[in-house]
Chains A and B, each alone.
Chain A
Amino acid sequence: MKKVLLFTCALLLCGTVISQVKREKFESRKLNSTRELKIQLPANYDPDSDLKHPVIIVFDGEYLFEPVSGQVSFQTHFDEMPESIIVGIIQGKERFYDSYYDEVTGLPVESGKRFYDFVAEELIPYLDNTYNTSKFKVAVGHNVMGNFINSFLFSETPVFEAYINLSPDFKGSMGVNVAKRLDYLKEEIFYYLATSDGDISSINKSIHQTDTDIKLVNNQALTYYFDELKGDSHYTLVTGALSKAMDKIFELYKPLDEKEIEEKIMPYEGTLDDYITDRYDRIDDLFGIFKPISEEEFEKLIEVANRREDLESVYKIGKLANKQNPKSAFGTYYMALHAEKSGKTKKAVKLYESALVLEDMSHIDKDFIMAHIEGLNLVEDDTEIEEPDGE
């Protein structure tokens, strides 16, 4: 008892249910049976919002769902990937039938075909009708279910946009056919393939063969990644490979980092507003989601523009920021700064003054702007330069 009294830990079970996993039963006509699903919605999922979310379908959900959910949760915390909807399909004893394939082609037949139809024609449409889903769909499969997810590549338009193959057990000519298919894809596809040095040796061998074939593919629409993890087995490779796959697939979505700034933005020909607009258009296009440019990123761009001594970009970024968020002082401030630096003092003062009535943003607050105006007024008084208004 003493021990208990020592620390007066009053325990309150609080009712906050933060992104708990939902379990649903799905009655499938195609399968003529009921399937259990695990569904994880984004932490602050709002059914009435316009925000759309990629969907990640996890096969063998009884054991593969949790590590996917953990990785997604980690990456979204740092905005390194969009908030996503994760759906795990429990297969258990049905796994053998679900994955049933043709010995020659490796493609699903009979019960395997029915399971394929369930996913493509029932589950995905259901998710699209029920939740705010974007067009970007990801499939995660391990072992024989890794073989299975590849069959979705062969419909006229692939069912999924990204394929995470965790030590797939390629059956029949599946590996060869995947490489051929990837060669004439029109739609943008992410394809991730992983094995390990301690993998089951027959599986390791066929994955290497498939990797060799895919590396010969020369198709702009394909983004391909391969990993051979060291010191891992067929099972232990899964979580590390998952984190790698997620990190790579959503690379474009991540905030600007050092590497991109040095390698792509510094040498970019043209103004930086074009660079960033293109980048975000691509995010929109690929993942089917709208991501606003963060203030942090605007700041980074201004910094780079200054380093490039690229005054025009400063102005254009200010203008772009203004367009995206007219209430914030940020954009107007940089437009003013541009005017100031190009010697258009009067215009600068005017812009600064209009920035004063807008909302503060990080270091750009009222005092900061006032300081600028005061400085400029002095300059104006001293030099009495009249600048023609306008650009």
Chain B
Amino acid sequence: MLPDMTKVIVFLVCALTFNSLASQVIYETIASSKLGESREIKIQLPRGYDPESNILYPLIVVMDGDYMFEPIIGNVDYHSYWGDMPKSIVVGINQSETRESDLSYSDETYFPSNEGSQFYEFIGMELIPYMNDKYLTSEFRIIVGHDLSANFLNFYLFKDKPLFRGYIAFSPDISPEMNNRLGERLPTLEEETFYYLATGDNDVSSLKQDILKLNATFAGIENPKLNYRFDNFEDADHYSLVGLGIPKAINEIFGLYKPINRKEYDEKMLTFEEGPYEYLMKKYEDIEFFYGFEKKVVENDIRAVAAAARKTGNLDAMKDLSRLADKEYSESMISAYYAGLYYEMDGNLKKALQNYQSGLLLEESQFINKDMLLDKIYDIQDKN
């Protein structure tokens, strides 16, 4: 007898694949003259990636892509969904067959040699230029590794002008001399650099000892350009520390990028002498300077300025804000809403009403919908 056919028939499931804004992983094989062979890479583009646009995205290079790529893209997709980090392009390099030789170093100099140096050059001279040519990548690059590859990424710090601005090292298997050399190198870094290091209380004990020593070295370095964070996770081993560490690393690196939260609003925006709008401008300039790419003003931050302007009765800030909203979000209800708020604050109810009404035809946003505009309209009409 057929197993419960009626049940199967009850719900007709059509398995249609449809295009949407969601991202898919691109699998490519890249032929490398440095390596003298080809390599499998995996690429994840941001949701809604448009090759014709002029937006540039940070590039995240993931070694040991065989197993590290997926948890990284899961986190990048999630945290950029909530605006806690910029949308980014992620490339993973598969190394399962070549790991030992790729990540090897000389027994004498303790720097990459032979296969190790070929792999080093492959990333710097082939993979990154390739990604830059083909995709909209910014100059802000991060490199991620685990175990042997977490050690290897440190070699990139010894270049005069390092290729990467962010280094994420999960339980590195640290090579001889590395600790000393980093101790000498880190104080001389000239560009803003982020470094994340993690171990766990059940990590491989020989690795852990060296990691703790490396942490001591980092902790002793006084270079304002170096932004460093260390985690020693409780109840985590060599592998489980990765899932715990990724969000910590991301949040550390993109701390400045985050939308304005309650704390920043209270402590920084409200108290900023030149007013909340100027605070916003400064914040976004800092972001551009720090990360080397522009951030579109997010609605959350516009709301924060409006709240602060109203609270402090700062009409100028509200005026500037309504202009900014109009410039950045002309197709959205955002532009009409903040223009209305400005005129309302200025006492020009007629113009406020006009703006709210014109907004009804525009697109809803995350925070503003038709009902909100209608409420505003009825409010003003009631007053008249």
**Interface of A with B (CB < 8 Å)?**
3-4, 6-14, 16-18, 20-29, 36, 38, 63-64, 66-71, 73-75, 77-78, 80, 122, 125-126, 129-130, 231-233, 235-236, 238-240, 242-244, 246-247, 257-259
Q: Is the CB of B242 within 8 A of A74?
A: yes
Binds A, one of B75-83, B149-157, B159-167: B75-83
Whether A24 touches B11, Cβ cut-off 8 Å, given contacts A10-B31, A236-B84, A243-B243, is no
- State how many angstroms separate the Cβ of A78 from the closest Cβ of chain B: 5
Q: Is B317 an interface residue (CB 8 A)?
A: no
The interface residues of chain B lying within 8 Å CB-to-CB of A23 are 16-18, 20, 22
- How far apart are the CA atoms of A27 and B8 in the complex, in Å? 12
Q: 8 Å CB contacts to A: which residues of B15-58?
A: 15-18, 20, 22, 24-34, 38, 40
Q: Is B97 an interface residue (CB 8 A)?
A: no
Q: Is the CB of B67 within 8 A of A74?
A: yes
Q: Is B326 an interface residue (CB 8 A)?
A: no
Q: Is the CB of A12 within 8 A of B75?
A: no
Q: Is B1 an interface residue (CB 8 A)?
A: no
Whether A240 touches B247, Cβ cut-off 8 Å, given contacts A26-B13, A129-B8, is yes
A4-B133, A63-B78, A78-B67 given. 12 additional CB < 8 A pairs?
Answer: A7-B129, A9-B33, A14-B28, A23-B20, A27-B13, A63-B81, A73-B67, A74-B68, A235-B84, A239-B74, A240-B244, A246-B243
Q: Is B71 an interface residue (CB 8 A)?
A: yes
A sample of 13 cross-chain residue pairs with beta-carbon separation below 8 angstroms, ordered by A number, consists of: A3-B133, A11-B29, A24-B15, A25-B18, A66-B77, A78-B67, A125-B7, A126-B8, A126-B11, A129-B3, A236-B84, A246-B243, A247-B243
- How far apart are the CA atoms of A317 and B261 in the complex, in Å? 59
Q: Is B72 an interface residue (CB 8 A)?
A: yes
The interface residues of chain B lying within 8 Å CB-to-CB of A247 are 236, 240, 243
Q: Is B301 an interface residue (CB 8 A)?
A: no
Q: Is B299 an interface residue (CB 8 A)?
A: no
The interface residues of chain B lying within 8 Å CB-to-CB of A14 are 27-29, 40
With both beta carbons as reference points, the residue of chain A lying nearest to B24 in the complex is identified as A20
With both beta carbons as reference points, the residue of chain B lying nearest to A30 in the complex is identified as B11
- How far apart are the CA atoms of A122 and B10 in the complex, in Å? 9
Q: Is the CB of B243 within 8 A of A12?
A: no
Q: Is B202 an interface residue (CB 8 A)?
A: yes
- How far apart are the CA atoms of A259 and B67 in the complex, in Å? 24
Q: Specify which of A6, A9, A69 is in contact with B70 (CB 8 Å cutoff).
A: A69
Q: Is B328 an interface residue (CB 8 A)?
A: no
Chain B CB within 10 Å, residue with most, of A7, A64, A75: A7
With both beta carbons as reference points, the residue of chain B lying nearest to A64 in the complex is identified as B78
Q: Specify which of B12, B24, B28, B74 is in contact with A67 (CB 8 Å cutoff).
A: B74
Q: Is the CB of A12 within 8 A of B31?
A: yes
Q: Specify which of A11, A16, A25, A240 is in contact with B14 (CB 8 Å cutoff).
A: A25
The interface residues of chain A lying within 8 Å CB-to-CB of B16 are 23-25
Q: Is the CB of A240 within 8 A of B243?
A: yes
The interface residues of chain B lying within 8 Å CB-to-CB of A3 are 129, 133
Q: Is the CB of B251 within 8 A of A236?
A: yes
Q: Is the CB of A9 within 8 A of B79?
A: no
Query: How many residues of chain B are within 8 Å of chain A by beta carbon?
Result: 61
- State how many angstroms separate the Cβ of B238 from the closest Cβ of chain A: 9
Q: Specify which of A8, A24, A259 is in contact with B31 (CB 8 Å cutoff).
A: A8
- Closest 5 interchain pairs by CB? A70-B74, A243-B243, A73-B70, A77-B67, A67-B74
The interface residues of chain A lying within 8 Å CB-to-CB of B10 are 29, 122
Chain A CB within 10 Å, residue with most, of B26, B68, B75: B75
- How far apart are the CA atoms of A14 and B28 in the complex, in Å? 6
The interface residues of chain B lying within 8 Å CB-to-CB of A11 are 28-31
Q: Is the CB of A239 within 8 A of B84?
A: no
- How far apart are the CA atoms of A36 and B350 in the complex, in Å? 45
**Interface of B with A (CB < 8 Å)?**
3-4, 7-8, 10-18, 20, 22, 24-34, 38, 40, 66-68, 70-75, 77-79, 81-82, 84, 125-126, 129-130, 133, 202, 236-237, 239-240, 242-244, 246-248, 251, 261
Q: Is the CB of A70 within 8 A of B73?
A: yes
Q: Specify which of B11, B68, B81, B242 is in contact with A122 (CB 8 Å cutoff).
A: B11
- State how many angstroms separate the Cβ of B232 from the closest Cβ of chain A: 13
The interface residues of chain B lying within 8 Å CB-to-CB of A29 are 10-11
- How far apart are the CA atoms of A66 and B73 in the complex, in Å? 8
- State how many angstroms separate the Cβ of A17 from the closest Cβ of chain B: 7
Q: Is the CB of A17 within 8 A of B27?
A: yes
Q: Is the CB of B30 within 8 A of A9?
A: yes
Whether A239 touches B17, Cβ cut-off 8 Å, given contacts A9-B126, A14-B27, A74-B242, is no
Q: Is the CB of A242 within 8 A of B28?
A: no
Q: Is the CB of A9 within 8 A of B78?
A: no
The interface residues of chain A lying within 8 Å CB-to-CB of B81 are 63
Q: Is the CB of B24 within 8 A of A236?
A: no
Q: Is the CB of A71 within 8 A of B71?
A: yes
- State how many angstroms separate the Cβ of B287 from the closest Cβ of chain A: 18
- How far apart are the CA atoms of A137 and B30 in the complex, in Å? 39
- State how many angstroms separate the Cβ of B349 from the closest Cβ of chain A: 33
With both beta carbons as reference points, the residue of chain B lying nearest to A244 in the complex is identified as B244
Whether A238 touches B78, Cβ cut-off 8 Å, given contacts A9-B130, A14-B29, is yes
Q: Is the CB of A7 within 8 A of B126?
A: yes
- How far apart are the CA atoms of A235 and B34 in the complex, in Å? 42
- State how many angstroms separate the Cβ of A60 from the closest Cβ of chain B: 10
Whether A27 touches B14, Cβ cut-off 8 Å, given contacts A74-B242, A243-B240, is yes
Q: Is the CB of A239 within 8 A of B29?
A: no
The interface residues of chain B lying within 8 Å CB-to-CB of A231 are 248, 251
- How far apart are the CA atoms of A126 and B7 in the complex, in Å? 8
- State how many angstroms separate the Cβ of B95 from the closest Cβ of chain A: 13
Chain A CB within 10 Å, residue with most, of B15, B72, B73: B15
- How far apart are the CA atoms of A231 and B68 in the complex, in Å? 24
Q: Is the CB of B15 within 8 A of A22?
A: yes
The interface residues of chain B lying within 8 Å CB-to-CB of A38 are 22
Whether A257 touches B78, Cβ cut-off 8 Å, given contacts A70-B72, A236-B247, is no
- How far apart are the CA atoms of A13 and B73 in the complex, in Å? 20
- How far apart are the CA atoms of A103 and B135 in the complex, in Å? 50
- How far apart are the CA atoms of A233 and B259 in the complex, in Å? 12
The interface residues of chain A lying within 8 Å CB-to-CB of B73 are 66, 70
- How far apart are the CA atoms of A9 and B133 in the complex, in Å? 11
Q: Specify which of A17, A74, A125, A232 is in contact with B247 (CB 8 Å cutoff).
A: A232
- State how many angstroms separate the Cβ of A351 from the closest Cβ of chain B: 37
